[in-house]
Chain A
Amino acid sequence: MRRLVPIVLAATVLLAGCQDGGGGDSTASNAAFDPATCQGGTLTVLNQGGITHLDPARLYTSGGGNVPSLLFRTLTTRNRQPGEAGTKPAPDLATDLGTPSDGAKTWTYHLRDGVAFEDGTPITSADVKYGIERSFAPELPGGAPYLRDWLKDAAGYQGPYKQPDGIKSIETPDAKTIVFKLSKPEGDFPFLATATQFAPVPKAKDTGTEYEKHPISSGPYRVESYEPKKSLVLVRNTHWSTKIDELRYACPDRIEVTSGLDSAVINQRLVTGAGPDAAAVTTDAVVGPEQLAQLGTGSELDKRVTRGEFPSTTYLAFNTKKAPFDNPKVREALSYAINRTSVVNALGGSAVVGASTTFLPPQKALGHQAYDYFPAGEGGNPEKAKQVLAEAGLSNLTIELAHQNDDSEGVGPKVASAIQEAFKQAGVTVKLTAIDSATYRDVTGKPATQPGLALATWGADWPSGGPFLIPIFDGRQIITAGGNFNLAQYNDSEVNAEIDAINALTDPAEAAARWGALDAKLGKLALVLPLTHEKDVYLYGKNVKNAYADGWRGQLDLARISVK
């Protein structure tokens, strides 16, 4: 019954990207929808995990997050469209996606006119810079790490409280212009600029750790009341209008977020839809067996569901520096032996997860290329596995599998025992070692303490191959001191070079293709054993209109739905 999801995951799990134009599902209730007249009503959001810190510096979001992007406008944001279109960034506070120069090592943005904070003071480039600087302060941890290694010599920066003179590599020549100087080419910068760290913060109003109590809004709503992980009430920000923001519709007059609920309860309430629950949605409670039993049976419920996919893969991470996993034969054998069906069931059934044989999730934006070099079929291929092991001269192998001690992140005992059972069929004995979910990443992320075999999950912070492959396979990203994600500890200069090359590309389509190719190439080495990719099925209340899963994150976008 552990309900509390660690922050890190709050980011990754909440996100979801759309595959099959979720909009289709919502047409029924969507018919009468018109952005111009949708205003009014109160929207209720029922969630499991609440927002721990409503501070743009501490939020770890992708595409600006769902609730946060109602408060914080960023330089760019996600394109809030269903399907393919939704996987692209779009200008938000900025006039465009940014102008790269110096081979994508310098990015320049101009703020659009008329944008202002909730108190009416206009937003300047200095506010944006200050917001980013805050995210470097140790007092405000938790935000996305990228800027620290992307920005030129900013890694050691201690934040504006200790070092008021700020980051040199961010320049604000005038109140409307902001220039970022990077240490190496980053074609994905427009994607990163969607993170809440890019939201403006008025220095005058900054109260450090207290700021989250009432963050100054630049979006369509402002905070009326906020209790961390319990409740958040948003009301209209009168200094915001559709004139200065075309992406957000902001239909409801009032949004009430309740957190800390049990997912079973949430879905049950959405199904029942009594009272305010009729105008309710959830952004993190994927439907459970309760509802799945009723879905697809032509019941009224079928009209009240969005289906999306967030790019995330659950996989087995081999530590190729540790025996016996330094032996590719062993890795291949296990890849044959795996029984993905039981893993899928352990994670909630084929409706909410899909079996994966590739590391990249099956999404065009990521440049996914299908491959299955070690076919295990539905229920695994223990015979083949035994055979491979025999060839390698290995019999009755005993290995340890590290996993989290609870299932909230989908890498817990349930999955682990499923795998244990599958490998048993191939004559491999698996000893389960549960590690407290709170410290799991610490243990696995330090090569010194990293176990030979560990369950892991990886979600992209934006729909592009880069953030999906780089931390996992870039040899220069092996961080020996901890916080390492290249669990294979794979370092190949060729691959590293290719990564740099792709990073320099500023055309997403071109980049995607090459990411896919890279993944397919790496797949042959069986450095990781892909298990499943996430599918997201969310219910919403009877009176909710224009509900569709946005392409970036796979959930319905609070900024666009209506309850009128």
Chain B
Amino acid sequence: MTTAPSAPPVPSRALAALRRDRGFLTGAVIAGTMVLVAVTAPLLAALAGQDYTTYHDGLLDSARGGVPIGSFGGISGEHWLGVEPGTGRDLFARVVYGAQVSVGVALGATFLEVLLGVGFGVAAGLGGRWLDAGLSRVIDLVLSVPVLVMAISLLAIVPQDWPRPLLLATVIAVLGWGGTARISRGETLTLRTRDYVAAAQVAGAPWWRVARREILPGLTAPILTYAALLLPTNMVVEAGLSFLGVGVRPPTPSWGQMLSSATTWFRADPFYVFLPGLLLFLTLLSFVLVANGLRRALDPRQREVLR
């Protein structure tokens, strides 16, 4: 993971490389759009003249279990992506708001994970033998926690009225910062052996200055790379949790939750599976592309796939 000593500063070379990377660019565009969609969800919904809560019983065939009337899940002028079976709520609105949850939670979780991970990692790396030993144990513990298993248990027992998306992000982060911490620690340990750290110390720089000026810049590349891959991973986790029914609370829509309810409709209304599935796939793919590009640009030495 270490960046070659001959590695030039991150910005200049990396940007150049990224500009040439077609995969990255496509990914970036899609990802960007998704984020934009997430941010402007209310606007878009308003634009479509729909919201994600209003029921349209008229558009459903109640006798047949409430499948949308008409082909492709009842696509029409006012319902651009049709309506949700069983409720008749506008799918376009739900999908864009779903993006808000998926993207938002993933971003939030990743941010927290990096915060925690780097914090602990650097502390362990710079701290003395005992601090390091202690923190390393903690990191080991976190790493040996079965994330999904714990997440399910946790989410099932916390009071239902807590702000769900925030909660999701926190839980995912609290269970998932181990990797980041381990990497940060390793990096810090190698970086602190570099002579320029010694030089700074000889010049009389206090530890926090060393950390800020000499260590953290060295961490940016590997951490950025890692975080970029954490993002889609977290998104999958969120979707999975919603899929298992411990995710966001209705009527708030989420792609994972749509997919799970879709399982009962896949024959009667295939379009309902197809839609969130495709979106989730596209978004994830785009994020992975971005991450991949970043990795190639930031540390060419490290080839192996991050898990």
Contact = CB atoms under 8 A, between A and B. Distances in A.
A342 to B, nearest CB: 5
Contacts of A421: 53-55, 251
Interface in A389-443: 405-406, 413-414, 416-418, 420-422, 424, 432-436
Contacts of B53: 417, 420-421, 424
B249 interface: yes
Contact of A349 (B62, B157, B266, B267): B62
B264 interface: yes
Contact of A289 (B55, B244, B265): B265
B60 A345 contact: yes
Interface in B53-90: 53-55, 57, 60-67, 85-88
Contacts of B243: 1
B245 interface: yes
B90 to A, nearest CB: 12
Contacts of A1: 243-245, 260, 263
Interface string A290-306: 10110010000000000
A379 interface: yes
B63 A434 contact: no
A538 to B, nearest CB: 15
A354 to B, nearest CB: 11
A505 interface: no
Interface string B250-273: 110000000010011111110000
B62 A345 contact: yes
Query: Contact size class for B?
Result: 20 to 34
A262 B57 CA distance: 27
Nearest to A416: B250
Given A414-B250, A433-B160, A292 B64 contact: yes
A339 interface: yes
Contacts of A417: 53, 87, 250-251
Contacts of A424: 53
B156 interface: yes
Interface residues on A, range: 35 or more
B160 A289 contact: no
Given A290-B268, A293-B65, A436-B156, A342 B250 contact: no
Contacts of A406: 245
A344 B250 contact: no
Nearest to B58: A379
Contacts of B160: 405, 433-436
Nearest to A433: B161
A85 interface: no
A247 interface: no
Contacts of B250: 413-414, 416-417, 432
Interface string A275-292: 000000000000011101
Given A2-B245, A293-B268, A417-B53, A350 B87 contact: no
Nearest to B57: A341
Contacts of B60: 345, 349
Given A288-B264, A433-B161, A349 B249 contact: no
Contact of B87 (A288, A345, A352): A345
Contact of B63 (A288, A292, A346): A292
A293 B54 CA distance: 25
A263 B263 CA distance: 11
B264 A289 contact: yes
A262, A290, A413, A434 interface centre (most CB from chain B within 10 Å): A290
A289 B88 contact: no
Nearest to A352: B65
B3 to A, nearest CB: 44
A345 B268 CA distance: 15
Contacts of A7: none
A461 B294 CA distance: 64
A348 interface: yes
A379 B56 CA distance: 10
A351 interface: yes
A264 interface: yes
A289 B62 contact: no
A290 B263 CA distance: 10
Contacts of A436: 156-157, 160
B236 to A, nearest CB: 16
A349 B66 contact: yes
Contacts of A435: 160
B62 A288 contact: no
Contacts of A433: 160-161
Nearest to A268: B267
A288 B87 CA distance: 15
Interface string A345-365: 110111110000000000000
Given A264-B264, A345-B86, A436-B160, A292 B65 contact: yes
12 contacts: A1-B243, A262-B263, A264-B264, A292-B268, A341-B57, A346-B86, A378-B57, A417-B53, A421-B55, A424-B53, A434-B160, A435-B160
Given A418-B87, A436-B156, 10 more contacts: A264-B264, A289-B64, A289-B265, A290-B267, A341-B57, A345-B86, A349-B65, A350-B63, A405-B160, A418-B55
9 A-B pairs with the lowest CB-CB distances in the bound complex, closest first: A289-B65, A413-B250, A349-B65, A345-B66, A434-B160, A289-B268, A350-B62, A292-B65, A417-B251
